[in-house]
Chain A
Amino acid sequence: MGETEIEKVSDTTFVLQMGPHHPATHGVLKLLCEFEGERVINIKPDVGYLHRGVEKLSESKTYPGAMTLTDRLDYISSMTNNIGYCLAVERLMGIEPPPRAKFIRTMVSEMTRLSSHLLWLATHALDIGAMTVFLYAFREREQILQFFEKICGARLTVSYPRIGGVRVDIKEHVLDEIYKFMDLMLIRVDEYETLLTENRIWIARTRGVGVIAPEDAVLLGLTGPALRGSGVYYDIRKQIPYDAYSEIDFEVPLGEKGDTYDRYLCRIREMRQSVLIVKQCIEKMPEGKILSDKSPDIDLPHQAKRKIEPGDSLWNGFIAFSEEKQEIMPKGEIYSAIEAPKGELGFYIVSDGSGRPYRMRVRAPSFIHISAIPKLCEGHLLADVIAIIGTLDIVMGEADR
């Protein structure tokens, strides 16, 4: 039996291939579903359609260069991917960004959380049948992306942070505009809630769908809002505070029953908290440097340079390889995780002292959430499978890497 086949339980069941080009699978996810009537008996996810070899590729790039690859993991929240990677390298090197850079990073990662949750809300609602929310959520997401363009010059593939800080400073008038927009955002979140939270169709489609007990959620490795929807208090922003999160007051919203509706409420409340965090960041933002003095240069060589004198045969070449290896980066390995909009995003980096990562491994929340689909779909109808894929907030660029 090949990878793409499923073992049938009995002759009366029927196997349906959903995806990889189904619009509701949020990318190129293929699900092999076995049905009895309209009830799901078994589901087998098949991933790998968007594999680009990011982990292997980053072994051939220098540390600053490999950061641009992390943009393309979870392409709707690239800012948090960059920050997660930079934080891992910073912890490996033992440097700390200056306070202003920390607050800027916290602010942009919460803006990313807003834009990611808005896209999730839009597509999840569209899958279930609420078209209007899709249009409204994209209206606000567009504005957040325009702020990213103002900050760093790109909308999606931002490459904004840098190891040891951020690349460019944010101007005061942009901060004021963001502050004003956040006031508007609170009103908009209320609007989305009016459209959905009490809506009887929405409740009928989400209540009791994809219920997962807290113990099972922990065992399956769910993180982020998918875990907090079951009522487990786990948020890396609180447990292992990074950047400026330790200086900011915010709550971690929790669900009760662990169904699709609770996860929806969790994310909506998280959006409100994000707005408050962004506002606090702007209020508390100190003046000063944006890049640590110890941070590596952007043109970090991948191997140590030998001292070259004029007249040397290597004088023409830019990079000369030394016979005895000098260390550019400290040797060692590190695992560092941040709270990305989807869940715990971890980077495991092994360094052998050269300017390139010896090995990089990404703990992608989407990949682990996909493994929970069979458990969540047990005994549900075909239509609920769509709701469950939506509620897990999967991005295939991150799952396949």
Chain B
Amino acid sequence: MNNLLKKILFIDLIKGLLITFKTIFTTPVTIRYPKQKRPLEDGFRGRHAFVRDPETGKERCVACTKCAQVCPSQCIYIDYSINPETGARVLTKYEIDALRCIFCGYCEEACPVNAIVLTEYFEYASYTREENYFNRDRLLNNWDEFIGQYERKEYLNKFWYLPGIGRGRLSVGKRQPNPIIRREESQ
């Protein structure tokens, strides 16, 4: 009897409609994307960049080729020569094909000197393929572009400092990394 009454009075449908009616008065959850932007979370894996070391003004890469080895999509191409006097490796070519990249972040995790990062910059769609084929200068340029619009003072990537992992198995650069401090723009 009760069920019949409920059916005649459309109780089930009215209950549902009440919820949709209530939702009219809530604030919208959508944003007007190109004008409004959602703040990105710390450690977002976006466009690649080479960290410009504040001390030397150059990239930090030591050409160990670990990133090229771990890359699952094999989109990093490295070449290096050896300085005959010191025996150190000198980076001669470093290229990333961003169109092949799958943004897993293995490269920045494997990098022993925290040279390569995936920055929080994601709007880099282009009309040509060449624009997303980054060489060494473009990677450094990407970093300048990113750090220029970065809002906080210190930058410490999530994959540079890995608490909870045995210190012994991390490279020296990962054990106690120094955050990059942004210089003031008043200069």
Contacts and interface: CB of A to CB of B under 8 A. Distances in A.
Interface of A: 61-62, 64-66, 68-69, 100, 132, 136, 139, 142, 146, 149-150, 152-154, 157, 159, 165, 167-169, 191, 194-196, 198-200, 288-291, 293, 297-299, 301, 316, 318-319
Contacts of B98: none
A196 B169 CA distance: 53
Interface string B55-99: 000000000011001111000000000100000000000000000
A281 to B, nearest CB: 16
B163 A169 contact: yes
A200 B72 contact: no
B105 A159 contact: yes
Nearest to B157: A153
Contact of A149 (B11, B44, B165): B44
A299 B104 contact: no
A38 B149 CA distance: 60
Complex A-B, nearest 6 residue pairs according to Cβ-Cβ distance, in ascending order: A290-B164, A65-B72, A198-B12, A153-B43, A169-B164, A153-B45
B19 A65 contact: no
Band of interface residues on B: 35 or more
A293 B167 CA distance: 10
A142 B30 CA distance: 10
Given A152-B43, A167-B109, A191 B164 contact: no
Contacts of B65: 318
B29 interface: yes
9 contacts: A61-B72, A62-B70, A64-B106, A65-B70, A65-B72, A69-B72, A157-B104, A195-B19, A288-B164
B7 A200 contact: yes
Contacts of A195: 16, 19
Contacts of B102: 68, 157
B131 interface: no
B165 A146 contact: no
B103 A64 contact: no
B145 interface: no
A289 B12 contact: no
Contacts of A198: 11-12, 15
B106 A154 contact: no
Interface string B31-45: 000000000111111
Contact of A154 (B13, B29, B45, B82): B45
Contact of B72 (A68, A100, A136, A149): A68
